[in-house]
A and B are shown apart, each in its own frame.
Chain A
Amino acid sequence: MVIRRLAAYLKPHRKSLLIAFLLLLCGTMAEVWTPKLVQIFIDDYLTPGNFDSTDLTYLAVGFILLHIAAAGFNYFQLVMFNKIAQWIVQQLRIDVFGKVQHLGLEFFDRTPAGSLVSRITNDTEAVKELFVSVLSTFLQNTVFLVGVFAMMFYLDVKLASYCLLFMPVVLGIMWLYRHFSTKIYHISRQKLSQLNAKLNESISGMNIIQAFRQEQRLRKDFSETNQEHYMANVRNIRLNGLLLRPIMDMMYLLAIVLVLYFFGNLSQHSVVEVGVLYAFINYIERFFQPVIQMMLRLSQMQQALVSAERVFELLDDERMAPTQQGESSPEVRDGWIEFNNVSFSYDGETDVLKNISFTAKPGQTVALVGHTGSGKSSIINLLMRFYPNYRGEISIDGASLSAFTDEELRKKVGLVLQDPFLFVGDVKGNIRLANDEITEEQIYEAAQFVQADSFIQKLPKGYDEPVVERGATFSSGQRQLLSFARTIALNPKVLVLDEATASVDTETEEAIQEALEKMRKGRTTIAIAHRLSTIQDADLILVLHRGEIVERGTHQELLAMQGLYHKMFLLQLGGVAS
């Protein structure tokens, strides 16, 4: 199954494969023909003492030309097969990365990022080794072996048939080697990864190990695993010593004995052409190297198949991101948002949202407040259509949320995340993202609008300032302003804000608050607020507790209720006061 799917990846490269295969055939033919030339030289010229100089020049030139041809064909053939393997794996990699892009957040919630990264990069890399092995090592060496046998049969059918008797023995050794090496290779790799895991863990937890005085014990523990790894290595060395090169070298000598015996016997009652003997010895010499090469790849292949299986598993994952349902494709015109009796659960067991209903009229701001885990983020996640399986109805401008195209939704509903995520690249690219419709002018306008312009201008390279991993060179306030500019550049109808809890310096904080106020103007805004002071002018404040709306109203109304909101407000006042 896995093999068939992998083979399907070969299809688009039929032509290249054919060319590479032809190159391989030509190269192999040229290579296996050279001993034949020597044979002709020895039998037709050297032994009878015929030294016709033109003939000999032809032979010598032919010999050199064959070598050059063999070298040339082989070089291009090797490169070409390798290229094909690279292309195939690239396709596989692009496929799996592309697939991951369209998986839903529920998938990401449950899959550790590390293992996902490893699936896309390391496992596909292992598959590459598989293709390189199969295409380069196996195909080539098999063709070469066939070529060698063809020449031997051409020279002497009987002796070649005798030599063919070695094949089952060689195959038997290969089988034996594979049988044992798969296991040993697996153990050795397993021990090595255990060893590395232990080392890694010890380095991270060294202060605990030292505080609990367990250095001795863990040293012993480590050295035990180290010993096990060594033992696996020794078994591997032993196996390679018994069944790999040494045995193939012995087989080579035995084959030589066979050839010598055959010709020696023959010479007792008939004339033997020494050149044929020479050629046979030469072919035998070339026979065993390819076998060793193939054997060396066998155990790796097994491992690569496991990796391929994991990659396909990911390709088959069905937890896709929610997309448009139906054909209506409505537009977001005014930004009238309605939640009607919405309940939601991440795991299908415990509801994190229970019967949530509210309306945000065009241009209004609805603020969500509540303790950690109260369900604020879940409301935003649903509105952004990150999770499909909610109960109840969410609509924008009267149309069901699920009816919108992805493009319309992403363009008209702008999200500003709590942890502003910056991509590696430059400032400009982080505001525009990959949206070519946004002009340079609009980038500057957006930056000015959110007051990010002033700090960007001060950067050594301004808008072209490089952004490193996660935007580490920018302060958290600056990162927020950049992410505001990114949202504003799209000019969305609806704004979804996840206010940052991280504290920033007062100056930036002021800029952020001003920017937020400006951004909200003329847009329907759904905002998670941690600082109640920033949402006092909201048209509607929803106070959430354990997935339910426990209080709702304007700031003044809620204060008058003297309930949860009031307490939160007091708490924050205290926070400001201290």
Chain B
Amino acid sequence: MKIFLDLLWYFKHEKRAYSIGIATLLCVAVLEMIPPYVIGVIVDGIKDRTLTSDNLMKWAGAIVGVALVIYCLRYLWRIYLFGASSRLARLLRNRLYEHFTKMSPQFFHQRRTGDLMAHATNDISAIELTAGDGVLTLVDSISLGGIVILTMATTISWKLTLFALLPMPFMAWATSRYGNMLHERFHLAQEAFSTINDKVQENISGVRVVKAFGQEQAEKDDFKRLSDDVVDKNIRVARVDALFDPTILLVVGCSYLLSIGIGARYVVNGEISIGELTQFTILLGHLIWPMLAFGWLFNIVERGRASYDRVDALLNVKATVVNQAGATEAIPSGELRYEIQSFTYPEKETPVLRDLHIALQRGQTLGIVGKTGAGKTTLLKLLLREFDITDGDIKIGGTSIYDTTLSSLRSAVGYVPQDHFLFSATIAENIAFGNPSASQADVEAAAKLACIHDDILHFSEGYQTLVGERGVTLSGGQKQRISIARALLLNPEVLILDDSLSAVDAKTEQAILDALQANRQNKTTLISAHRLSAIEHAEQIIVLEDGSIVEQGRHDHLMEDNGWYATMYQRQQLESLVAEGGVADGDSQTRRVSQATS
């Protein structure tokens, strides 16, 4: 029941809804006592032949009136109670979402998307259930149960009430127990279900092996075996699930037998009338629900509490990257300086960057090359403050990026990530992602710079074409160019291209680079690449190896050095030649390479 304390802040927040809801529930409980009473009176009237048609009309009218009032009140408490619990779900979902938007990449690296989703869906549903049905079952089982028992005991016979109630606690106990069993078995059934889900997943991703080795039949047999298990587990669930109705039937039957058997004796004694006995049995019928509710309450509360704890823990995680005290709002610009002694990812041992000093004049381009894992992406992500440097600094225009607010820093930096992530929206919306109020002309201009405009026009709905699962399937190169356009639209002070030209062909790459040079005068650009042609033109090129700079300078300079850069450059020249089918007149180059490599 501690969950209700945990949720107290919300009950206070929704004071009105909950008080009206609960008050209405109580009213309904009281009003519900009237029809059984009327029935008792009429039964007695019929039996004693004292019922007049006037009286009959009056009582009938009374029940109709009560029925209408109860109808309205029942509608009302549903709106108030369930409305409030829905709003709690809405509130928690918004909070979680807002919280997610404040979390740094580390948070998302440490948790699986599936788990985060589960918190936002299943856990919130469980909490919503607690705040709605949980409150309802609590109030109803106490109030309605209490009022019914009180009515039975005070207006009819407290002795009979005691007898009739004897079997009832068993029902509350049984439903609570069944509830737990059901939960356990349901969990097992879910697991079995996810096993066949995994099996199907495996089967489909391994379809070539299955076919090449003629494993179709074996796979079918295996699937049958697993689905047998699903059936077994589900039948186990059904075996418990089917217990509820018969148990209720039996317990209520016992209660009826006791009250009618013993009640008959009181009728004969004259302690109660036959009408009262009828009233009593009807009231007994009204007790079934509160007893059930009492059993359910424990299950709802238990699950709600576990879920609330999980969501609460998630909401209490602090962001690791935050604005520092006194950070300026001014948008940074000017010379870009990396002064990193060393950088190690949180919870990792070995540094990924070491002794890194770069100074880049405003308007210059920096090319970053090196093997996979050399630290290229890390270098770029530090500038975006996806992670914070502990030993060193990055300055723009002489101001540390840590003395600038996150927002100002990020407004100065345009980012094209390695994994070109697009949103399920139209192409235009994706390009205008950073500035939704951009005009169509702006969007098209950015698309033209990124050499994607013509491709877009080829789609049936042009810029309004949907991207993503329900939309058009884009090639890797198209996705890359759209994410380049997305960054270019902002015309940022510093542009980061993190291996963002890998999936476009050589000609397009050149066109994009030319467009960048023409349009980004006085703006700084950082390009990391595997294909050296993408950074050949840069004013500064650094070659990274294991987090340190091993070669640095302009292209010509690096070629003369004849180190990693030069070797790599020649190799890639040849590679592109091969990709072209080897028919281009690149013989002179081939000779050069063969000399260089032999």
Contact = CB atoms under 8 A, between A and B. Distances in A.
A578 interface: yes
Contact of A230 (B56, B90, B217, B218): B90
A281 B282 contact: yes
A376 interface: no
Interface in A243-284: 245-247, 249-250, 253-254, 256-257, 260-261, 263-265, 267-268, 272, 274, 277-278, 281-282
Interface stretch (B59-67, B358-366, B450-458, B549-557): B59-67
Among B89, B113, B201, B436, the one with the most A-chain Cβ atoms within 10 Å of its Cβ is B201
A64 B578 contact: no
Given A222-B97, A423-B202, A268 B103 contact: no
A507 to B, nearest CB: 21
B100 A570 contact: no
B219 A577 contact: no
Contact of B268 (A49, A205, A417): A49
A427 interface: no
A472 interface: no
Interface in A405-456: 406-407, 409-411, 415, 417, 421, 423-424, 433-434
A8 interface: no
Given A67-B253, A205-B423, A253-B66, A211 B415 contact: yes
A213 B410 contact: yes
A240 B596 CA distance: 80
Contacts of B56: 260-261, 264-265
Contact of B64 (A120, A212, A257): A257
Contacts of B575: 571
A117 B205 CA distance: 10
B63 A116 contact: no
Interface stretch (A101-109, A151-159, A302-310, A458-466): A101-109
Contacts of A237: 78-79, 82-83, 86
Nearest to B219: A101
Contact of B234 (A86, A202, A545, A564): A86
Contact of A68 (B78, B234, B250, B594): B250
A277 B282 CA distance: 12
B348 interface: no
Given A82-B238, A421-B208, A214 B433 contact: yes
A564 B578 contact: yes
Nearest to B132: A237
- Top 3 closest pairs, chain A to chain B, by CB: A434-B218, A410-B214, A67-B253
Residue from A237, A433, A564 whose CB has the most chain B CB atoms within 10 Å? A237
Interface in B194-215: 196-198, 200-215
B391 interface: no
A568 interface: yes
Contact of A63 (B105, B253, B583, B597): B253
A206 B213 contact: no
A20 B108 CA distance: 51
Interface in B70-95: 70-71, 74-75, 78-79, 82-83, 86-87, 89-90, 93-94
15 contacts: A79-B242, A116-B200, A117-B197, A201-B423, A207-B108, A217-B436, A226-B93, A230-B87, A238-B75, A256-B35, A260-B59, A277-B43, A384-B212, A568-B578, A570-B574
Interface in B576-598: 577-579, 581-583, 590, 593-594, 596-598
Nearest to B486: A212
Contact of B242 (A75, A203, A263, A268): A75
Contacts of A14: none
B246 A71 contact: yes
Given A79-B238, A211-B384, A265-B53, A411 B74 contact: no
B193 A121 contact: yes
The interface centre, meaning the residue of B35, B39, B196, B212 with most chain A CB atoms within 10 A of its CB, is: B212
Given A75-B246, A203-B116, A268-B53, A102 B94 contact: no
Interface stretch (A89-97, A175-183, A395-403, A510-518): A89-97
A410 B282 contact: no
Interface in B257-306: 257, 260-261, 264, 267-268, 274, 278, 281-282, 285
Contacts of A207: 105, 108, 384, 386, 417
Contacts of B278: 274, 277-278, 281
A574 interface: yes
Contact of B117 (A98, A200, A575): A200
Interface stretch (B6-14, B334-342, B565-573): B565-573
B228 interface: yes
Given A75-B243, A246-B74, A563-B582, A578 B274 contact: no
Chain B interface main SS type: helix
B220 A101 contact: yes
Contacts of A564: 578, 581-583
Contacts of B224: 94
A222 B97 CA distance: 8
Contacts of B267: 46
Interface stretch (A34-42, A333-341, A519-527, A533-541): A34-42
A93 B238 CA distance: 19
Nearest to B66: A253
Interface string A181-219: 000000000000001110111111111111111110111
Contacts, number: 376
A212 B582 contact: no
A98 B87 CA distance: 45
Interface stretch (B44-52, B140-148, B168-176): B44-52
A74 interface: yes
A386 B211 contact: yes
A64 B257 contact: yes
B511 interface: no
Nearest to B261: A60
B43 A83 contact: no
A201 B45 CA distance: 69
The secondary structure that dominates the A interface is helix
A574 B215 contact: no
B49 A249 contact: no
A397 B541 CA distance: 58
B434 to A, nearest CB: 4
Nearest to B245: A74
A249 B70 contact: yes
Nearest to A72: B246
Contact of A246 (B75, B97, B108, B424): B75
A227 interface: yes
Contacts of B506: none
Interface in B138-184: none
A100 interface: yes
Contacts of B67: 249-250, 253-254, 257
Contacts of A97: 200, 203, 220, 223
B101 interface: yes
Nearest to A321: B211
Nearest to B212: A415
B559 interface: no
Contact of A227 (B90, B574, B582): B90
Contact of B235 (A51, A86, A108, A203): A86
Contact of B215 (A250, A267, A433, A563): A433
Contacts of A486: 213
A574 B593 contact: yes
B42 interface: yes
B216 interface: yes
Given A234-B86, A241-B78, A260-B42, A424 B204 contact: no
B459 interface: no
Nearest to A286: B285
Interface in A161-181: none
B359 to A, nearest CB: 24
Given A78-B242, A265-B53, A199 B206 contact: no
A578 to B, nearest CB: 5
Contacts of B211: 105, 321, 384, 386
Contacts of B268: 46, 49, 51
